[in-house]
Amino acid sequence: MSRLLLHFGCALPGCYLAAGYLQGKLGVDPEKTIIWETGIWAFNLLILVVLLPRAARWARWPMLVQCRRAVGLWAFTYVTGHLLAFITFLLGWDIFRLGEELLKRSYILVGFIAWITLMPLAITSTKRWVQRLGPGWKRLHQGVYIAVVLAAVHYLMTVRSDYAWAGSYAMVVILILALRFAMWRQTRGPAPLSAATRKPATTD
Amino acid sequence: MTKTTDPITYQRRRLVVATLGVAALSTFGYLRYGSRQTKSISTAGASTSRTNDADARYSQVAVTTKHAATHYNNAYEFGWNKTDPARHAASFHLRPWTVTFDGLVERPGTFDVDQLMGLPFSQLEERIYDFRCVEAWSMVIPYNGRPLAEILKSMQPLSGARYVAFTSLYRPEEMPGQASPFSTLEWPYVEALTIEEAMHPLTFATFGVYGDPELPQNGMPFRITVPWKYGFKSAKFITRISFTADRPPATWHQETPAEYGWYSNVYPDISHPRWSQASERRILGEGQIERIPTRPYNGYGEAVAHLYPGDPQQYW
């Protein structure tokens, strides 16, 4: 039941966009609306997917970890939709121009690399791959941090003069990285020499 | 030093996590959609239908619908979003409005905007121009006004005047983009043309669009329209026109010189660093968009190319 609700929630922005597009309710320039909205929801879900395990651990709430795969796949879906919308509406499926844009416009390259980074994570999200890759799976899936940083850079690079939105997202990403770093230090523990002098880490 | 945390603490933490999640989602929803939604409903009455009388008059030519041209605007004074200008238009005061002429000019002075029109608004000339935004979209818009040269000549510029500088309105209480702490643009907005460009018969002193003088989102009550340049060169909400000997600054050029040239003529071969200018998305109505190739000088080359002898790279 909760799983169904999760999928419904994640699909909602996309369905809303699709319905709005078909009914002509996305404003004067629906093409740009779709590009912007798929982008922002891809970013939202990417942020959610990196926060889920942190929150699950802190509140000892295993259900959140179970949500991670679905949210991650939805994030990848929105990133892919964002890319497809860009190729459709701004490039008109001119693949040569895609190559040209990737070479010339660094913000497009950065976004594209984020998509490439997420692709193997989406592919290896099945149980079979988790088993097959063993501990490597976890390391591979840390790649989501690379993607979320690239997303922040990509967003900042599109700004012409008002940094309110892109700046806020970049701040969130910086906070997430800080949190991740703090967790990493906690799990690894302090360096062996100073271990004795430092107060042992309390469990949460 | 507690090794185990009691279950109650975890339950509280779950509550915190859930609350934060809901709070984050609703804040996002409100900031991104909420404010836009409510205001767009409140302005909906102003433009009752999406194809109105104004549009019917232009059915012969492919003119952009008035609704599209008045609800999709770049006027960073009102905000960076293209729906911001229309949202804030209703509370903008179009009168009183004066324009000051100064600098290297025989007859400086301050004039009321109605004086500058020369004629009653309804009798002004109408010109349908292609409008090309630097962001690679374009519209076809009927402008109401008179050649800027007529106004400038009546002020009698001195022979030393080589440039004309335009200063836009600074009124942060009605223009929230000017009050935004996140905007990197300096206010007021300034733009400039060479005196030859300003005096060119195509350069149009504009007091309305679609026969409507009350459209702040389109730069009213007084703007200029320079159809062979990217849209931002056509200064909006003009309150001052200065004649100068030295090249005056221009807002976007000053902000990011690598992306916005001082001349900013439309050259399809010269890309903006972040996108190609070879083609444009021609917006003819809400959701009615087609991709067409961009023409040099936005199609007005025959009339204006002589202003730019030599390599176009000097005039991008």
CB B147 within 8 A of CB B218: no
pLDDT of B41 reads 40
pLDDT of B3 reads 57
Give the model confidence (pLDDT) of B122-133 as tens digits. Answer: 999 999 999 999
Query: Are the beta carbons of A29 and B17 separated by less than 8 Å?
Result: no
pLDDT of B51 reads 53
The answer on pLDDT for A192 being more than 90 is no
d(Cα B296, Cα B293) in Å, to the nearest integer?
Answer: 10
pLDDT of B101 reads 98
Site from A160, A163, A176, A203 to mutate, B interface, most B CB atoms within 10 angstroms: A160
pLDDT of A200 reads 44
Burial class for B131, CB neighbours closer than 10 Å (0-12, 13-18, 19+)? buried
Distance from CA of A129 to the nearest CA of B (A): 30
d(Cα A79, Cα A112) in Å, to the nearest integer?
Answer: 9
Query: Are the beta carbons of A64 and B17 separated by less than 8 Å?
Result: yes
CB B135 within 8 A of CB B80: no
Highest mean pLDDT among A56-65, A109-118, B54-63: A109-118
CB pairs under 8 A between A and B: 88
d(Cα B294, Cα B281) in Å, to the nearest integer?
Answer: 9
In terms of Cα–Cα distance, which of B93, B62, B243, B213 is closest to B144? B213
Query: Please, what is the angle between helix A30-58 and helix A143-158, to 10°?
Result: 140
**pLDDT, averaged across chain B:** 91
Q: Which of A92, A162, A203 sits opposite B183 (nearest CB)?
A: A162
Q: Per-residue pLDDT averaged across A66-95, rounded?
A: 95
Give the model confidence (pLDDT) of B220-234 as tens digits. Answer: 999 999 999 999 999
Q: Which of A24, A92, A107 sits opposite B286 (nearest CB)?
A: A24
**Chain A residue with the nearest C-alpha to that of B21:** A48
d(Cα A204, Cα B9) in Å, to the nearest integer?
Answer: 11
Residues of chain A with C-beta less than 8 angstroms from the C-beta of B66: none
The answer on pLDDT for B82 being more than 80 is yes
pLDDT of B4 reads 65
In terms of Cα–Cα distance, which of A123, A180, A175 is closest to A152? A175
The answer on pLDDT for A120 being more than 70 is yes
Burial annotation B257-281 (CB, 10 A radius, 16+ → b, else e): eeebbbbbbbbbebbbebbbbebbb
Q: Per-residue pLDDT averaged across B65-81, rounded?
A: 95
The answer on pLDDT for B38 being more than 50 is no
The answer on pLDDT for B183 being more than 90 is no
d(Cα B65, Cα B59) in Å, to the nearest integer?
Answer: 10
Residues of chain A with C-beta less than 8 angstroms from the C-beta of B274: 105, 107, 157-158
Q: Which of B17, B256, B281 sits opposite A59 (nearest CB)?
A: B17
Query: Are the beta carbons of B1 and A202 separated by less than 8 Å?
Result: yes
pLDDT grade, residue B54 (50/70/90)? low
- Other C-beta atoms closer than 10 Å to the C-beta of B43 total 17
Which is more confident, A199 or B209?
B209
pLDDT of B55 reads 64
d(Cα A118, Cα B70) in Å, to the nearest integer?
Answer: 40
pLDDT grade, residue A146 (50/70/90)? very high
Element (H, E) at B128: strand B125-132
CB B138 within 8 A of CB B230: no
The answer on pLDDT for A163 being more than 60 is yes
Which DSSP state fits A86? I
**pLDDT, averaged across chain A:** 90
Q: Could you tell me whether strands B98-103 and B109-112 are parallel, antiparallel, or unpaired per DSSP bridges?
A: antiparallel
Residues of chain A with C-beta less than 8 angstroms from the C-beta of B276: 97, 100-101
In terms of Cα–Cα distance, which of B302, B289, B296 is closest to B316? B296
Q: Per-residue pLDDT averaged across A13-26, rounded?
A: 94
CB B252 within 8 A of CB B244: no
Site from B3, B5, B10, B14 to mutate, A interface, most A CB atoms within 10 angstroms: B14
Please give the share of chain A, as a percent, with pLDDT higher than 90.
75
pTM metric for this prediction: 0.85
pLDDT grade, residue B50 (50/70/90)? low
CB A144 within 8 A of CB A121: yes
Please give the share of chain A, as a percent, with pLDDT higher than 70.
92
